[in-house]
Structure 1
Amino acid sequence: MATTATPQADPTPKEPEATPAAALTTGTSDLRQLLLRNLRQSGIYIAFVAIVALFAILTEGLSLSPGNITNIVLQYSYILVLAIGMVLVIIAGHIDLSVGSVVALTGAVSAVLVIQRDYPWWVGMLAAIAVGLAVGAWHGFWVAYVGIPAFIVTLAGMLLFRGLTLQVLGNISLSPFPSEYSKVASGFLNGLLGGNGYDAFTLLIGAVAVAGYAVSGFRTRVARIKYQQPVESFPLFVGRVLVVGAVVMYFAWQLAHARGLPIVLIILAVLIIAYGVISKRTVFGRQIYAIGGNLAAAQLSGVKVKVVNFWIFVNMGFLSAIAGIIYSSRSNGAQPAAGNMFELDAIAAAFIGGAAVTGGVGTVVGAMVGGLIMAVMSNGMQLMGVEQQIQSIVKGLVLLLAVAFDVYNKRRAGTSR
């Protein structure tokens, strides 16, 4: 007798079909995550443009005049140099509180040799760099090989090297430097390519900088996509490049209509490019991020943590010496109180530019934008006649909000997983 087979139920549970409302909710969530990630990546640039626009309105355009933009470059270049080294120190999970005192000491050594003892101007610069390297090696030894926290070592260094500055100068100021020395921070390149009422060479350098930024950003984006790493949306990437390009070209246009391209800006650009490559495209740079991101994992991966930490502080001493040369050139002399509070400005630039308090996060470009935000704010408030105590309050609040934003983003990232 034939039997009829009854169909068996599929034991595999089926996912319920998504309703239009559920699909809309999912899409909204994805869009929210995308916007939050893009905000974290590009928020510093948006903030910089907004602050520039705000002070342009408050100062009735005076903050964007050719002469004032040139003054911003000259007045804050040494802080930006310090910020380059400081962001690498912070990425590795350390801090350096001594850079202001090292700026003073290196400038003092250079002044004694050049002004008091009549050595050539370049001898003073080389001596300043040698002192900076020695200071960095001193800090690196105690931090890397003895194991004393960098906060304590550099706090002691802040007192030690300030005292040595007073000793070297005999508690007096020395000035003036020869004209060749002063041109480092006060000289300009003008008229190399001509121009009718403007310096064409400055505009050319600005255009090259924008092109380099766009190409570098695109290559980085392609590499991140290749390794399936998150990137910002392409329209936002293009928008960021256009905004940065417009800001840079406006900046170059204003410089071209003032005194031309400052020599110190060329020095700063070379350092930014060099350290951008070092931090992102070299083994040493990747090791810095590894140490700050997860020290135990870096050690297990074979990273020579002591050696890397040692050279991080040697590098910080080198850049402090460069900043000391620029500052002494700018002030045309050496003073016992030079570099006072510079370390706080450099630290603020790094944190506002996106460096994480816990280490492992940060970029050289971000530190530069953070430093420029501080520079534009300080300059704008000075033009408005704001009292010094109010300026300090505002800058302190901006620093606090920048770190709070970083903490908030990390918490959101942790809860979204």
Structure 2
Amino acid sequence: MTVDTLRFATAGSVDDGKSTLVGRLMHDSKSVLADQLEAVEHASRTRGKDTPDLALLTDGLRAEREQGITIDVAHRYFATPRRRFILADTPGHVQYTRNMVTGASTAELAVVLVDARAGVVEQTRRHAAVAALLRVPHVVLAVNKMDLVDHDETVFGRVAEEFGAYAASLGVPEITAVPISALHGDNVVTASPNMPWYGGPTVLGHLESVDVDHDPRREVARFPVQYVIPAAPEEPSGRGCAGQVASGVLRVGQPVTVLPSGRRSTIAGLDVLGRSVDLVRAPQSVTVRLTDDPDVSRGDMIVPEDASVTPTRNLTATVCHLHDTPLEPGSRVLLKHTTRTVRAVVEEIPSRLALDDLSQHPAPGHLAANDIGRVVLRLSEPLPVDLYADSRRTGSFLLIAPDDGTTVTAGMVC
């Protein structure tokens, strides 16, 4: 059986139990090393707790451990016999909305936690809105702390119904609700005897079985050139274009176009780890050799001739501003798209998004840290960008401060 990889993110309000859930997943799935567990037990005793605080498995920063909260995106890796996992435990505070955006930007599934006692709150709606905005295809609603509401089915049903209606109105395609107690492990890895009325999967069971379509043949091929390998003396016409296939499939003999120049060519050869192959697919790192040895540079993009895209110098995008310095009309930035970086200027900020209900506030004047809004950009050079709805990889970009190289904004082409 092929073991694939699932990238997922956790989100929820402060103290909803995100880190405890992740720690429970890792502990009960036997993914915690002995020395890690020993360190957690020691830290728990230092804080006056009789049992290990599994949240400390993900709250790795000293400031987080001292405060008992998550303030950064903690990435962890674990595996079961059925699947490998890359998880991002994102913070719950409103001021760290940008951290959820970065943590969920590559996720295929988001786990949104809700305290059964509090139900759906503003931050819950905000996280659902971010998941919808980033087009995360699967969302799990984990209704936590069911032990504190006597494992009441009515409470779970009410929370699941309210969240489901809101998420569906945002266009979230799939929602799975699970009643859990992360502290005691109910319905996290093993089914809970305390909630016999629930017949659905555990959180881990759903993570292991959710259908994540990794078939790159359904995507349009895109190959950003990262490095041009000079031709060897014995093969003067054999320059290679090295990089990672961003999406889709490339084949030997396939007619292609080099963007933004528009030069046409044909794939003469494909090399993976020094071995010639007939076909490559995302996300393989490969070397592409073209017939006629056209002029290709770092930052160019090789695309199928029949699925090309018109490079543009004008972009309209939804962005999440990440920096404390506001983004304003007239701001001059660098725009990094795949392997190419160009100068750009913010021409207009038409609106700012209210994340609780996705309404648009027109003409905000600027975007502050954690704000999400619509911007219009003018580029110094044309870029072959896709819509984010069509490709999360080639439809996204970063804005960078030109003076010190700081990443200030994450964008999605719309």
- TM-score where L is the length of structure 1: 0.23
Q: Which has the larger radius of gyration?
A: 1
Structure ranking higher on relative contact order (CA contacts 8 Å, 6+ apart): 1
Flag the structure with higher helix content: 1
Larger fraction in strand: 2
